């Protein structure tokens, strides 16, 4: 039992430095700009995205597979989200929502697909989107860009967002705080949703992966313990099924984040229409 690998599903989320780089101090905050495993995954994700679009963004009338994939991704944002939710006025915001969707999608997918290399002990993959620092950055960035855009577009009357129209005025004492809380909790829910989904999925996958190995090692000790191969094989089946599920979650969470960002943006772009 001593040589068994420790079952530690949190190990995969540990950050360690790969390349040491200087630290910048901004006020009291210390920005350690070292390339960590997390940062390396972000850079790889950005590189994959840029390479993908350089290779596939052609202008052919009859698309090949790569171009069709790139166009499908673009249509998810342009035709499925922004078009129906915001309308033609949403066109200028498509690149932002598209970038948001692509970044989350590629980081989510990398963390699931590249996990295959973990089998050989290569820790190439790192679930960047399971880092609360990253999802919170995305959520805060999106939320405040939209919030500031509201004031830029509509001026001070944007605060009437918190006062539902057609309400007797005494009710406003209750409604305005409720509306404000439900509004400002949005970045928290955005960050937590993505973080929780990716964290949970990876913990469960890691657990079942550990079971496969741990139970397999127990089974190798012979005798009655050989029966441990059965739960080991079951765990292996589970991990295959979970990988499929996690692929769906990876795509779905990117879509959900983009969809919510579009819905929030819609309130700003179509402010005052049917509000």
Partner 1 sequence: MATETQESTAAPEAKPAGLPQFDFQWWPGQIAWFLIMFLVVLVFVRLFAAPRVGGAIDAREGKISGDIADARRLKDEAEAQAAAAAAETAQARAAAQRLAGDARAKAQAEVAAKLAQEEAKLAEKAGVAEARIAQSRDAAMTHVAGIAAEAAGAIVGKLTGRAATPAELTAARGS
Give CB contacts under 8 A, 24+ apart, made by 44-48.
44/110, 45/103, 45/106, 45/107, 45/110, 45/128, 46/103, 48/106, 48/110
Of the two residues 35 and 113, which places its CB atom closer to partner 1 in the complex?
35
- In terms of C-beta density within 10 A (0-12 exposed, 13-18 middle, 19 or more buried), how is residue 40 classed? middle
* H runs (alpha helix) in 8-129: 37-56, 65-75, 83-85, 94-113
Least distance between partner 1 and beta carbon 83 (Å):
12
Backbone phi and psi for residue 15, each to the nearest 5 degrees, phi listed first? -100, 135
Of the two residues 32 and 160, which places its CB atom closer to partner 1 in the complex?
32
Least distance between partner 1 and beta carbon 46 (Å):
5
Least distance between partner 1 and beta carbon 102 (Å):
7
Q: Binding residues for partner 1, per CB under 8 A? A: 10, 13-15, 24, 29-34, 36, 38-39, 42-43, 45-46, 49-50, 53-54, 57-61, 63, 67, 70-71, 73-75, 78, 94-96, 98-99, 102-103, 128, 130-134, 137-138, 141, 195, 199
Of the two residues 102 and 250, which places its CB atom closer to partner 1 in the complex?
102
Of the two residues 136 and 175, which places its CB atom closer to partner 1 in the complex?
136
Of the two residues 42 and 214, which places its CB atom closer to partner 1 in the complex?
42
Q: Is 221 helix (H, G, I), strand (E, B) or coil?
A: coil
Least distance between partner 1 and beta carbon 109 (Å):
15
Calculated CA dihedral for residues 267, 269, 274, 275, nearest 10 degrees: 40
Of the two residues 147 and 158, which places its CB atom closer to partner 1 in the complex?
147
CA atoms of 57 and 53, how far apart (whole Å): 5
Q: Which residues contact 58 (CB under 8 A, 6 or more apart)?
A: 64, 66, 67
Least distance between partner 1 and beta carbon 63 (Å):
7
Least distance between partner 1 and beta carbon 28 (Å):
10
């Amino acid at each position: 039992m001593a040589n068994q690998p420790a079952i530690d599903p949190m190990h995969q989320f540990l950050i360690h430095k790969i390349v040491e780089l200087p630290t910048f101090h901004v006020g009291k905050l210390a920005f350690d700009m070292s390339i960590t495993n997390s940062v390396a995954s972000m850079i790889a994700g950005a590189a994959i995205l840029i390479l993908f679009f350089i290779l596939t963004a052609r202008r052919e009338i009859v698309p090949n597979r790569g171009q069709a994939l790139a166009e499908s991704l673009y249509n998810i944002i342009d035709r499925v989200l922004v078009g129906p939710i915001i309308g033609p006025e949403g066109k200028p915001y498509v690149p932002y929502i598209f970038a948001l969707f692509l970044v989350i999608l590629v980081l989510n997918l990398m963390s699931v697909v590249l996990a295959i290399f973990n089998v050989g002990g290569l820790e190439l993959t790192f679930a960047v989107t399971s880092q609360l620092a990253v999802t919170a950055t995305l959520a805060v960035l999106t939320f405040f860009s939209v919030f500031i855009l509201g004031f830029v577009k509509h001026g001070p009357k944007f605060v009437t967002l918190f006062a539902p129209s057609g309400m007797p005025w005494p009710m406003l004492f209750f409604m305005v705080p409720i509306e404000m809380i439900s509004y400002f909790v949005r970045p928290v829910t955005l960050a937590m949703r993505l973080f929780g989904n990716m964290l949970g999925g990876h913990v469960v996958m890691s657990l079942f992966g550990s079971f496969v190995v741990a139970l397999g090692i127990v089974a190798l000790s012979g005798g009655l313990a050989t029966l441990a191969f059965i739960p080991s094989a079951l765990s292996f089946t589970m991990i295959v099924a979970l990988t499929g599920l996690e692929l769906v979650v990876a795509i779905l969470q990117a879509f959900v984040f983009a969809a919510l960002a579009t819905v929030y943006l819609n309130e700003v772009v179509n402010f005052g229409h049917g509000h």
